[in-house]
Amino acid sequence: MTSGAGTGPDDDTSTDGAATGGAATVVDARGLRCPLPVIRLARAAAGLMDGDLVTVWSTDPAAVHDVPAWARMRGHTVVRSTALDDEAQDRTEPATAITVRLGG
């Protein structure tokens, strides 16, 4: 569900309002393992402003702990964490959508 908004083949980010209910940058880190979901999230957040939302989609079970820890250490706030309900996803590897508001 990402678009071609990234800058290269390894940049899985897009702006997608449907993913979080408002304009948010989406980082599709499904299939990636620790520490890559947090690294991709940090890379996407670096170009954004305080108050912006970033949602990371991850199939890595560690992300539900790693993303909130990263947000806390950087002064950001996790505003939502839900199971990603995407018909195209592999049901054997469920994904989580974690939304962070930058700057608290």
Q: Kindly name the residue from 11, 15, 34, 80 that is annotated as catalytic.
A: 34
**Nearest alpha carbon to residue 63 among 87, 46, 84, 47:** 84
Q: Are strands 96-101 and 77-83 parallel, antiparallel or unpaired?
A: antiparallel
Peptide bond into 61 cis (omega under 30): no
Burial pattern 51-60, b for ≥16 Cβ within 10 A else e, equals: ebbbbbbbbb
13 classed as catalytic: no
Q: Which residues are catalytic?
A: 34
